[in-house]
Amino acid sequence: MSDSPPLSHLEEDGGSRMVNVGAKPITFRTAEAEAIVRYPVEAFHKVLAGEIPKGGIVEPARVAGILAAKRTAELIPMCHGLSLDWVQIIIEPLPNHEPGLSVRCTASLEGRTGVEMEAMMGATMAALTLYDMTKALDKRIQIEKVRLLKKTGGKSGTWKAQ
């Protein structure tokens, strides 16, 4: 028998449901997520030099990430439609001269449920857009390690990734 709590999106018979958050208090909530886009070295040098067949890559990726965060509930069935107060996408080279880009999405709102899925959706869609904008350079580009970095607010409070 497991000590973990039951999943809130499942009925006792195993059917799915949307959680009723109507009675939960409104609190300030944030979430930050990251996706990594790894490039073969030669392709990454072209990315840094701006030698991309489709032109600039950062702004289309940033806009795609923001739009995706705002539309998360349209794609993930049990997510609540949230009125986000703020979404930010930061795209920067990986540390230590690794050939790749870090895509971080931070989202916040005052509401009854968290914004983790919105942050993860924003980071993922921005990463997918970077892939789309650069795939002509090399098909070995990889999107990896989509993960939640931090969340605040709500009953569970603050959580940070190791």
Catalytic residues: 132
Q: Given strand 159-160, what is the order of strands in its sheet?
A: 86-93, 100-111, 27-38, 142-152, 159-160
Long-range contacts of 42-45 (CB under 8 A, 24+ apart): 42/138, 43/99, 43/134, 43/137, 43/138, 43/140, 43/141, 44/99, 44/100
Instruction: Say which residue the tokens 């709500």 belong to.
Output: 154
